[in-house]
Structure 1
């Protein structure tokens, strides 16, 4: 197969079969670096076609690092006794949103471990308070696996989006990353439920996670193509020192950028973040992600003194241009890339909020 042909086919049809995707991933750099750069340019042009040269900002609030789950790769897993646990109260969360709103953010992302303290009543109260105070803003949740009824309550309270990475579409791979009580089938069912209720949904996975093969990555890409989420979160695996994967190598930057560009072309209307993990493995990682087709950044609005406690992986970037304090520097950096910050809600262009029955 010819790599240039595959790149052109992907950019024009937004589709490749399993064998074509696998060949592209394994061989793109064997015929010269200019092919990779061409892929990045096509991905960026595709983003611009659907969204212009805009980069959407989401204000991230890390609500709690308590978690009932024990995912093997995660630094805040419930069995890690070395974590200094915290949770924000309602006032703390609203204060974070107020700071973000004053800057101009029109989306707030509430992210948390699966903290049982936040039952439906507490979380729905928080969601409705944010929505009532900032009716022009979108609310994104990333709170893990919940029941259909809980998701529906979140939606009816005013939440607009839900991020839930599927992590891997392979049952065998999933079982190597998670304890036996967590099932891939339930994760996928959650994503289907969220979509049925009316959320903008986000799925995704880590690149170079332990035991991952290129075949796994291709299956992940094909699963995303079938699911057709509104958002896709893809970043490199980064080990945490208090997990069984502490000695594993972090994900490769160039491979992650490659997968991001392919994802942009497979799902041209997707909202694609340049993740914190990407910026954490390389100082220029986020900028490189934007030049490879990404169009979302999530600066951290969490209280400064707590950011290092929400430690999913080692060396997480929580200061500098990733943090809200440096939003002017972030704006200058993005402008220098030939892109522009968009302070609107930044909804997926194919989504309209409909009343949940």
Structure 2
């Protein structure tokens, strides 16, 4: 076979994989092909199709999530996380309910559409869960959609969080390769985490799953994880890129594909779900390509004088104001992105809750 014939065959394989995926008839092999564009022409077409789907299903612009990382204490030793229990380099803090409310009000004033209440698996809250539900109750008074991400919760805790007013439960599997998962999260059963999301859905919460890129995975791991995420009854899916920080045991490893390419394939396989681009990876520069690849949410906005930290990059862009809502809104408008509204997000949440209830019947 000549090089010209090989190139033609490769192009045909890409087109077939793309068509299969757009028709929701894809295989793991199709996704692997899309995750590895052979040239800029293929990559541009992949991203263009992802943007078309975003425009079709989310024509009103980009949502903004305020990141309220209210406790950096954690009982786990996840091998990729800066705030793992045994990392002596991490700054530990636990914000009070009054501080969390003040920060949340500031976020709302600056234009965010959702408040993301995130913490490590802090025993202070997990052992006395009413401490956390008291915070949710207080934040719910602010009339803004609320996501919670406190780690694995029991069915009883999930029910209490929903009754307190939480709309969304974010819990990332990081990978759906069980072998790789065990290397990332020692002493944390894969099924326990998986089932926590299912329990949240049964109790009326929307859910989010996420994957991590650059932790030793291969292309097939990524494709299988995307396929599994697309089958779940989640309303938001994401990809995050691993960033090596002091005190984390996993060495930096070059991923087999780009963060933005994974985002594009997530959009093709999850056309009706929200997909974030995170400021936590590389600030405004880090959201540029994922937005071009079909993301429709910007996450990890942090107000500079809040005393809060990030996760993947615990300090990047916070003190300078780069990750503030005002600055992100300015950036999006300068790059011709429309800013969505809180009311549209509330409608999306209501529609997805109704859909989930009907599926559970």
- Asked if these proteins are the same fold (TM beyond 0.5), I'd say yes
- Tell me if 1:14 matches 2:24: yes
- In structure 2, the partner of 1:266 is 269
2:285 is matched with which residue? Answer: 284
Higher-RCO chain (CA-CA 8 Å, sequence separation at least 6): 1
Residues 302, 339 of structure 1: CA spacing in aligned structure 2 closer, same or farther, 3 A cutoff?
closer
User: Residue 232 of structure 1 corresponds to which residue in structure 2?
Assistant: 237
What is the Cα deviation at residue 314 of structure 1?
6.5
CA distance, structure 2, for counterparts of residue 74 and residue 41 of structure 1 = 33
Equivalent pair of 2:264/2:293 in contact (CA under 8 Å):
yes
Which residue in the other structure is 2:318 paired with? 318
Check if 1:127 corresponds to 2:136: yes
How much is the aligned-residue C-alpha RMSD, in angstroms? 2.4
Structure 1 alignment gaps of length 5 or more: none
* 5+ residue gaps, structure 2: 1-11
Deviation at 1:311, TM superposition (A): 4.5
Q: Decide which of 227, 232, 237 is 1:222's aligned counterpart.
A: 227
TM-score (norm 1): 0.88
Deviation at 1:228, TM superposition (A): 3.4
1:176 equivalent in structure 2:
183
Q: How does 1:1-357 map to 2 (within 5 A)?
A: 2-11=13-22, 13-26=23-36, 28=37, 30=38, 32-118=39-125, 119-132=128-141, 134-135=142-143, 137-179=144-186, 181-209=187-215, 211-245=216-250, 247-249=251-253, 251=255, 255-280=258-283, 284-301=285-302, 304=305, 306-308=307-309, 310-313=310-313, 316-320=316-320, 322-324=322-324, 327-344=325-342, 346-347=345-346, 348=348, 350-352=351-353
8 Å contact kept, 1:276–1:322: no
Q: Deviations along 1:5-63, whole A, 9 cap, x unmatched?
A: 3223323x13411122123323x2x2x31111111111111011111051001111110
Q: Is the 8 A contact 2:302 2:318 kept in 1?
A: no
TM-score, normalised by the number of residues in structure 2: 0.87
Task: Kindly indicate whether the alpha-carbon contact (under 8 Å) linking 2:76 and 2:121 is maintained by their aligned counterparts in 1.
Answer: yes
Aligned length: 342
Q: 1:108 to 1:183 in 2, by over 3 A?
A: same
